[in-house]
Amino acid sequence: DRVLVGNKVTEGHVNFIIAYNMLTGIRVAVSRCSGIMKPLTDKDFKLTKKLAFDYHGNELTPSSQYAFKFKDYCPEVFRELRALFGLDPADYLMSLTSKYILSELNSPGKSGSFFYFSRDYKYIIKTIHHSEHKHLRKILKRYYEHVKQNPDTLISQFYGLHRIKMPYSFRSKIKYRKIYFLVMNNLFPPHLQIHKTFDLKGSTWGRYTKCEKTEDPQHSPVFKDLNWLEMNEKINFGPLKSKKFLQQLQQDVLLLSELNIMDYSLLLGIHNIETGNDLIEEGNKNDLVDPLEDSNAMPNLLPSQSSRRTIHQHKSHHHRRHTHHSVNPPINNTQVVKHFFQQDEGGIRASDQFNNDLNQIYFVGIIDCLTNYSMLKRMETLWRSMNHDLKVVSAVPPKVYGDRFYHFIENSVNKHYDENQQQPGYHD
Ligand code: ATP
Ligand code: CA
Ligand code: CA
């Protein structure tokens, strides 16, 4: 239940080669996927591309320190998705691959997935289970259409789906290990401290994070539904923002239910403007490292407060240095309109009943949305056979899950108005 503590991924780290290969693959695959964008066809949703890397390299792939295979899924679709989400192709490549810096979040969830942050903290690489990968491919078209129709969707922004296949020896035989992973948006900002984090599912069973009083900023807990209720927290949105938020949430939940998805959560990070980046500013300046100067290492760019400070301090530096790389013209006439829920420093300001700004910024989105009902059902049966408490998993049908989720969040919004009377300023 603790997040934001992580490990440097340096040479010698158990996952260094995996991380290195992931980035090498992305670099070559994404830079190859440039040129004119044609309208997507059904084929694009099935297309995969394979690359083989080795020490010597060939005309298709540059030489790589380690031998591995890379598979890119639906590259054209993801390219279009990145454009829809307003990413600049050159920046994307730069963030993910320049100088091979990643940091690892040690297994924050129960699923066993690994999380890696890009060095500028904009992107997250999440390793996923084969079944999640299969499900994403199955729903990709619906997801893509949803994003087109709902540019302000709260659902995780997927930027790429890939696989690496690495050899390992087992009883003096060569075996292969396949690792599926996706690239998505980091909901949290590189430059602002998150003072409170919630992961809300709308179910209360086991949804409590014990909070020992700790002043260690690196151990800021992720609170859950029962904490939310106990703390009597609300999402403060005036009539305008709450209307937009709940409408979008409803659309998103509708899609997820239709796609048989469940077990997702609303991730909410709260930044208090008055508190500011207190830990960041008070920090020990000697801790600072320049990730850009530290060439081969993959320094700890974790969302720990000290690393946020590092990123913050070098942000302008980074921009100055790399602006000349953004030479690509705007893509495909896609108008890059600012995402509604990212309008204030990458998040959205809280507001009062008159729609005036309050001193909080919310960073909010729906995460972990690739688990389908049958997967969870299977897991549940497995757990049952292992004598685990059934309710820990408690797979309810997606529609039930979605309704419960939506109503929990709806009740969590301090709307300041009564829907029936349409009167701003109404308090319950
Ligand atoms: P489980 O299935 O056990 O819930 P998981 O391995 O599928 O775990 P997630 O639920 O996707 O993991 O994420 C775990 C935690 O990682 C979240 O509670 C959140 O703190 C952090 N996290 C996940 N996705 C993001 C994101 N897009 N932006 C910021 N933080 C994230
Ligand atoms: Ca989860
Ligand atoms: Ca999960």
**What whole-number distance in Å separates Cα of residue 381 and Cα of residue 390?**
9
pTM, rounded to two decimals: 0.83
Q: 184 CB under 6 A from ligand 1?
A: yes
Ligand nearest to the CA of 199: 1
| Alpha-helix residue ranges (DSSP H) falling in 154-195 | none
All structural domains of the chain: 6-424 (3.30.800.10)
Report the separation in Å between the CA atom of 366 and the middle of ligand 1, taken as the mean of its atom positions.
Answer: 10
Q: 283 CB under 6 A from ligand 1?
A: no
Instruction: Look at ligand 1, atom 26, and give the residue with the nearest C-alpha.
Output: 186
Position in ligand 1 atom list of the atom nearest CA 184: 27
Report the separation in Å between the CA atom of 366 and the middle of ligand 2, taken as the mean of its atom positions.
Answer: 10
Sign of the Cα torsion 330, 331, 335, 336 reads negative
Q: 280 CB under 6 A from ligand 1?
A: no
**What whole-number distance in Å separates Cα of residue 15 and Cα of residue 13?**
5
Tokens for 195, please give them: 């003072």
Ligand nearest to the CA of 367: 1
pLDDT tens for the 428 residues of the chain, in order: 333 445 667 777 778 888 889 999 999 999 887 778 889 999 999 999 999 999 888 877 888 888 999 999 999 999 999 999 999 999 999 998 755 556 676 555 567 788 888 888 899 999 999 999 999 999 999 999 999 999 999 999 999 999 999 988 889 999 999 999 999 999 999 889 999 999 999 987 778 888 765 555 555 789 999 999 999 999 999 999 999 999 999 999 999 999 999 999 999 999 999 988 876 544 433 333 333 333 333 333 333 333 333 333 333 333 333 334 334 444 444 445 589 999 999 999 999 999 999 999 999 999 999 998 887 766 666 665 565 554 444 567 899 999 999 999 999 998 765 555 444 444 44
The pairing of strands 115-118 and 417-418 is: unpaired
With vertex at residue 420, the alpha carbon angle to CA 418 and CA 426, rounded to the nearest 5 degrees, is: 20
Ligand nearest to the CA of 264: 2
Position in ligand 1 atom list of the atom nearest CA 156: 27
Q: 108 CB under 6 A from ligand 1?
A: yes
**What whole-number distance in Å separates Cα of residue 375 and Cα of residue 204?**
21
